[in-house]
Amino acid sequence: MEFKVEKNEQYALISIKDTALTQENYEDFEKLVRNLFRIDYTNMIVDFASVDTLDGYGVSVIRKAHKICANELGLLVIVTKNDEIIDQLDAAKIEDLTILPTVEEAVDAVYLNDLENDFQSEDDDEFGGSEFEGGTDDDY
């Protein structure tokens, strides 16, 4: 499988150069995702601009990549304008999979996801723990 990877501080952009993500090449994509994850990339943008064929193996590897990213509060974004690919991914019912038409929108989604995670983390720190236990109404 041919692809180009651009690494940024916040995300890795994977541009697939092949026209298909299928049984013949899905293992290459899976290895790439795992290697990026091992070096702490939990946000991945996958540009499907040249991809026009996706089979069950391709959908399966996307599901795995999505799960890897989501488990670490990261985001996997598929970039495509191909309605057939979008319909296949929608039919696969991959919960919360982000599909966007442009790389620029995908980058924005990654930054927004990171901001949401930061705010959530701050809320957990602020409201978690025992600081409200045993307090009175005057404490609030």
Q: Please report how the helices 56-71 and 26-38 are oriented relative to each other, as an axis angle in degrees rounded to 10.
A: 10
Asked if residue 130 has pLDDT above 70, the reply is: no
What predicted TM-score, i.e. pTM, was given to this entire model? 0.84
CA dist 19 → 49, 54, 85, 136, 140 (Å): 9, 9, 12, 64, 59
Q: What number is the average pLDDT over the span 85-94?
A: 95
pLDDT on residue 131: 45
What is the C-alpha separation between 110 and 107, in angstroms, rounded? Answer: 5
Q: What number is the average pLDDT over the span 83-95?
A: 95
Q: Around Cβ 69, how many Cβ atoms within 10 Å?
A: 23
Sequence spans of domains, the chain: 3-105+112-125
| Candidates 3.40.50.10320, 2.60.40.1510, 3.30.750.24, 3.40.50.10490; CATH matching 3-105+112-125 | 3.30.750.24
pLDDT tens across 99-128, in order? 999 999 999 999 999 998 888 777 665 555
Phi-psi region of 100 (alpha: psi -120 to 50; beta: other; left: phi over 0): beta
Whether the CB-CB separation of 42 and 69 falls below 8 Å is answered with yes
pLDDT tens across 30-88, in order? 999 999 999 999 999 999 999 999 999 999 999 999 999 999 999 999 999 999 999 99
